[in-house]
Amino acid sequence: MPHPLPAILAHLDQQAPAAEARLVDWLRIPSISAQPAHAGDCLRAADWLRDQLQGMGFTASVRPTAGHPVVVGNHPGPGGGAGGGGGAGGGAAAPHLLFYGHYDVQPADPLPLWTSPPFDPAVVQGPHGPRLVARGAVDDKGQCAMWLESLRAWHAVAGGPPCRVTVLVEGEEEVGSPSLDAFLAANRAELAADVAVISDTNMWDIDTPAITTRLRGMVYAQIDLRAARRDLHSGLYGGSARNPINLLTQILGELQDAEGRIRIPGFYDGIEEIPAAQRAEWAALGFDEAAFLGEVGLSLPAGERGRPPLERLWARPTADLNGIWGGYMGEGSKTVIAAEAHAKLSCRLVPGQDPQAVAEGIRRFVAERLPADCTAEVQVFSTTPGIAVPADSPWVQAARRALSAEYGRPAVLMGSGGSIPVVESLKRLLGLDSLLVGFGLNDDQVHSPNEKFELRCLHQGARSHARLLAELAGGA
Amino acid sequence: MPHPLPAILAHLDQQAPAAEARLVDWLRIPSISAQPAHAGDCLRAADWLRDQLQGMGFTASVRPTAGHPVVVGNHPGPGGGAGGGGGAGGGAAAPHLLFYGHYDVQPADPLPLWTSPPFDPAVVQGPHGPRLVARGAVDDKGQCAMWLESLRAWHAVAGGPPCRVTVLVEGEEEVGSPSLDAFLAANRAELAADVAVISDTNMWDIDTPAITTRLRGMVYAQIDLRAARRDLHSGLYGGSARNPINLLTQILGELQDAEGRIRIPGFYDGIEEIPAAQRAEWAALGFDEAAFLGEVGLSLPAGERGRPPLERLWARPTADLNGIWGGYMGEGSKTVIAAEAHAKLSCRLVPGQDPQAVAEGIRRFVAERLPADCTAEVQVFSTTPGIAVPADSPWVQAARRALSAEYGRPAVLMGSGGSIPVVESLKRLLGLDSLLVGFGLNDDQVHSPNEKFELRCLHQGARSHARLLAELAGGA
């Protein structure tokens, strides 16, 4: 019996218009998780997905949470019975995959900036051919549609996927996934798998597929300095009383040294240099930092001196002040020495850094610079570690083969400077590594008006996922 | 003929209840300059004063300005005709005095914190005897009432003051005197005099009279830093893009060195050390900085190391950040690299410093620390020089004699860390030095609920002004 992949790819090509129509149906549902008025739409978007899964051989259900529901689907893979089992899945040669995605979308405002209604998807021509313009076109309904269509094609041509598959699609990603951790913890056995597959990231460019193997973590903290117990007149007290705004700038002005290195105690502890092969691969990408900065009106790189730009963005930690406030912020003059001053500080973390140790380092950094009659409260809002998947893991190797075959050029191993909190949750609560294979582009206007998804990305993404299923299940 | 002073002082003592009643009348008029609804009350307060002046031999009028009116009065002194003349006034031995004050008051809110209605003056007992509680009780109607009563007593007993007197009382001091400079410039000849006498300052304590011979000036500036042309995602750009809040803290964190000295270029140029005699006099005051700071919850002096506290407060310049803002200032987290960051900076200046040079120094200080792809706008809102009156000026010597005679102990020469802008205007536009003789106390709750004036201060202040008129006119 020939391997079914060529027929599956042909089926996907032939079904492309129908796949577009299905995605358009889903995009018409304004499943905005942040807005209570759209709670019913979130449920409709979940129901739509459950029905699709049931139509391709899955058992599937819409599961309540404290917030918007989660859709869970399960397919036993070749020859298996529905439901049950976990962990080892289809055995060493046919792993059990968990596809994660989210059906909720960002609010669409400001509406006047949209060239077509955000929930009435439009196909418009762009430099790469037709693109779909709608809220959620790429984030994340469009990226979910790729693996959905690949599973549908496997079902149509081969009777089902080549390995056991669990689907987990939440409805609160855009509001910080407040219900997800509890859901994962409560359904550990049902959600057990060998690896998670997530499509919520980007390609390097439209011709170059990418696997994201590094994500930065984060410690986010607020620093509240207090000096005198009330605001003071700067004439009557200036020269005697401590000014907490001056103090805050003195403390935070020392966050970086002249070389751009962060001076928080122990900040770099545990960080390993990236492998030489990775560094060489990133250098070969020819990232144009001047163009990257020039697009936002800057010309001089910040961050650590002596590090290549992609290493600074993907593999080195940061300490950025996200907000600062205190004293008089109105028009004109007020001669006040404020009682308080505040700042928000986020440190992007890389693998090896211990988020709790970084949080403690922030506390020490501030405390060491604090006069005895002032107080500083450091509130830590979040702590997530940086994540790196080894380039030689079997999942990454399988994905490289699948993507390279589809695009006719090597898939790039990328980093992301941002965080994807679900990756950390899946690891912590289910013990799952994540394989991040995404088909978005940098200009997709995610979270902004006129969000779009290139149809070429949609279809090549679906073909890539079909190939990935074959590779992960044991080779095409 | 005996000198009339003893009879004048006796008259003031005998008239004390009537003087209190007159001040209460004036205090009942809610002449709040900041609130347009009280414009009619401001006019009433001005009319009241004009009538008082006319009743003690002055020509007086209420003069319109672009804002609230100014009251101008003139008395030719002994043997002269009303009106006309200027400059040399009554000759070398009898100078021409200009009394400056203001009839407007601060808003009274928050009203619930008042123990009696702010415009229904109440006499209550305090540790120093009876005190008058009302908005404006000391600032500045009560302090004006002292020199008014002294002029009234000279008129009643001696037929008029012992020298030529001009009175200038404005109605916009509490809103920054926006109309005063134009009025002074337009009426230079009419307002010409030899020295200005102002009662809007404090005693050292209720037993120790004081002459304020030093006022700090000010440069007030706003610094607006701009980096990228829009807000950026701190994950996607952190490590490459400049963060203007980090930059602002780096720049402003260098304002002071480890010894508390200001690093603005040329900042200390032109400052002369205060005379040894002044330093000794201030040291002898026994200022308790620990108590001064302890009252507001602080214990460690800030400012320049190695300088005595009163010198830091009165005779050394400062650089205080009065406000700072940028990026996300709400609840929780937002992972943004802001496009802009802002701060307000005021430098209190001392005599010798050129305000324009300090403003230029601030611009240079920022520019020298600015990356080439960021911009900084420095808006300068005000520039006023520090002022010092020589301790050996004939006016100060005369005031020392008058005050020491009244209180039975030497009058102290004080500084003030704040600014009194009218002093600079009188010097610049009329060429007048100011003699600052005030009878407020530190606990008078100026600008706050339950503003009060000790009746003992009111009466000894009136007696002091009567003595001062005699001293200035040629000795009692």
d(CA B18, CA B152): 12
pLDDT at B61: 98
Q: Given an 8 Å threshold on Cβ–Cβ distance, is A246 in contact with B228?
A: no
Q: Each residue of B98-154: pLDDT tens digit?
A: 999 999 999 998 899 999 999 999 999 999 999 999 999 999 999 999 999 999 999
Report phi then psi at B369, rounded to 5: -110, 10
Q: Given an 8 Å threshold on Cβ–Cβ distance, is A373 in contact with B228?
A: no
DSSP 3-state assignment of A442? coil
pLDDT at A199: 97
Q: Given an 8 Å threshold on Cβ–Cβ distance, is B335 in contact with A218?
A: yes
A301 neighbourhood in chain B, CB within 8 Å: 240
Report phi then psi at A63, rounded to 5: -110, 130
Compute the nearest-CA separation of B216 from chain A (Å). 8
Compute the nearest-CA separation of A337 from chain B (Å). 6
The residue among B139, B219, B233, B249 with the most chain A CBs within 10 A of its CB, best to mutate, is B249
pLDDT at B42: 98
Q: Given an 8 Å threshold on Cβ–Cβ distance, is A298 in contact with B241?
A: yes
Question: Residues A37-45: what's their mean pLDDT?
Answer: 98
Q: Does A369 touch chain B (CB under 8 A)?
A: no
Question: Residues A179-190: what's their mean pLDDT?
Answer: 97
In chain A, CATH 3.40.630.10 sits at 5-215+387-473
Whether residue A89 has pLDDT greater than 50: no
pLDDT at A80: 60
pLDDT at B475: 60
B319 neighbourhood in chain A, CB within 8 Å: 246
Report phi then psi at B445, rounded to 5: 60, 40
Q: Given an 8 Å threshold on Cβ–Cβ distance, is A256 in contact with B239?
A: no
Among A90-94, A445-449, B344-348, whose mean pLDDT is lowest?
Answer: A90-94
Compute the nearest-CA separation of A456 from chain B (Å). 25
Ranges of residues in chain B with a pLDDT under 50 are 81-92
Amino acid at B475: G
Q: Does A262 touch chain B (CB under 8 A)?
A: no
Average pLDDT, chain A: 94
DSSP 3-state assignment of A346? strand
In chain B, CATH 3.30.70.360 sits at 217-275+314-384
Which pairs count as long-range contacts for B426-431, CB under 8 Å and 24+ apart, including other chains? B426/B98, B426/B100, B426/B184, B426/B196, B427/B387, B429/B181, B429/B184, B429/B185, B429/B188, B430/B98, B430/B184, B430/B188, B430/B191, B430/B192, B430/B193, B430/B196
Residues of A (293-312) whose Cβ lies below 8 Å from B: 293, 296-304, 309, 312
pLDDT at B455: 98
Burial of A241 (0-12, 13-18, 19+ CB in 10 A): buried
Which residue shows structure tokens 């509890």?
A182
Cβ density class A409-428: b for 16+ within 10 Å, e for less: eebbbbbbbbbbbbbbbbee
d(CA B40, CA B27): 15
**Percentage of chain A lying above the pLDDT 70 cut:** 96
Q: Given an 8 Å threshold on Cβ–Cβ distance, is A324 in contact with B320?
A: no
Please choose, from the candidates B222, B220, B228, B221, the residue with its C-alpha nearest in 3D space to the C-alpha of residue B375. B228
Q: Does B357 touch chain A (CB under 8 A)?
A: no
d(CA B298, CA A387): 45
Length of chain B in terms of residues written: 476
d(CA A75, CA A77): 6
In chain A, CATH 3.30.70.360 sits at 217-271+317-384
d(CA A452, CA A115): 11
Which of A253, A303, A381 is the closest to B253 by Cβ?
A253
Whether residue A391 has pLDDT greater than 60: yes
- The neighbour count for residue B417, using CB atoms within 10 Å, is 24
Q: Chain A residue with minimal CA distance to B217?
A: A235
B223 neighbourhood in chain A, CB within 8 Å: none
Length of chain A in terms of residues written: 476
Whether residue A442 has pLDDT greater than 50: yes
Compute the nearest-CA separation of B372 from chain A (Å). 8
CATH 3.30.70.360 correct for B217-275+314-384: yes
Q: Does B449 touch chain A (CB under 8 A)?
A: no
Q: Each residue of A110-121: pLDDT tens digit?
A: 899 999 999 999
The residue among A219, A262, A333, A337 with the most chain B CBs within 10 A of its CB, best to mutate, is A333
DSSP 3-state assignment of B411? coil
Compute the nearest-CA separation of A328 from chain B (Å). 4
Q: Given an 8 Å threshold on Cβ–Cβ distance, is B417 in contact with A238?
A: yes
A336 neighbourhood in chain B, CB within 8 Å: 322-323
Structure letter (DSSP) for residue A446? T
Q: Which pLDDT band, with edges at 50, 70 and 90, does A448 fall under? A: confident
B292 neighbourhood in chain A, CB within 8 Å: 240
Contact of A5 with A470, CB cutoff 8 Å: yes
* Largest Cα–Cα separation, chain A: 92
Contact of A40 with A62, CB cutoff 8 Å: no
Q: Each residue of A48-80: pLDDT tens digit?
A: 999 999 999 999 999 999 999 999 999 999 976
Residues of B (410-439) whose Cβ lies below 8 Å from A: 416-419
Contact of A174 with A105, CB cutoff 8 Å: yes
Q: Chain A residue with minimal CA distance to B253?
A: A250
The residue among B113, B222, B333, B340 with the most chain A CBs within 10 A of its CB, best to mutate, is B333
B342 neighbourhood in chain A, CB within 8 Å: 329
Compute the nearest-CA separation of A6 from chain B (Å). 38
Whether residue A81 has pLDDT greater than 50: no
Q: Each residue of A301-322: pLDDT tens digit?
A: 999 999 999 999 999 999 999 9
Give me the architecture of the A217-271+317-384 domain, per CATH. 2-Layer Sandwich (3.30)
Q: Which pLDDT band, with edges at 50, 70 and 90, does A90 fall under? A: very low
The residue among B250, B322, B340, B387 with the most chain A CBs within 10 A of its CB, best to mutate, is B322
Q: Does B324 touch chain A (CB under 8 A)?
A: yes
- Cα–Cα distances (Å) from B315 to A13, A340, A403, B279, B350, in that order, read 83, 26, 74, 10, 6
d(CA A209, CA A287): 15
Q: Given an 8 Å threshold on Cβ–Cβ distance, is B329 in contact with A325?
A: yes
- Cα–Cα distances (Å) from A35 to A47, A82, A191, B375, in that order, read 19, 36, 29, 39
Q: Does B322 touch chain A (CB under 8 A)?
A: yes
Q: Given an 8 Å threshold on Cβ–Cβ distance, is B299 in contact with A216?
A: no
Q: Given an 8 Å threshold on Cβ–Cβ distance, is B220 in contact with A335?
A: yes
Which residue shows structure tokens 């000849």?
B189
Q: Given an 8 Å threshold on Cβ–Cβ distance, is A296 in contact with B232?
A: yes
Contact of B166 with B96, CB cutoff 8 Å: yes
Q: Does A326 touch chain B (CB under 8 A)?
A: yes
The DSSP code sequence of A62-99 is EE--SSS-EEEEEE--TTPPSS---TTTT-TTSPPEEE
Phi-psi region of A104 (alpha: psi -120 to 50; beta: other; left: phi over 0): beta
B251 neighbourhood in chain A, CB within 8 Å: 249, 253
Q: Chain B residue with minimal CA distance to A375?
A: B298
Which of A320, A341, A373 is the closest to B298 by Cβ?
A373
Q: Each residue of B114-125: pLDDT tens digit?
A: 999 999 999 999
Compute the nearest-CA separation of B201 from chain A (Å). 12
Q: Chain B residue with minimal CA distance to A379?
A: B332
The residue among B232, B245, B247, B248 with the most chain A CBs within 10 A of its CB, best to mutate, is B245
Which of B235, B292, B371 is the closest to A418 by Cβ?
B235
The residue among A318, A320, A334, A340 with the most chain B CBs within 10 A of its CB, best to mutate, is A320
Residues of A (104-163) whose Cβ lies below 8 Å from B: none
CATH 3.40.30.10 correct for A5-215+387-473: no
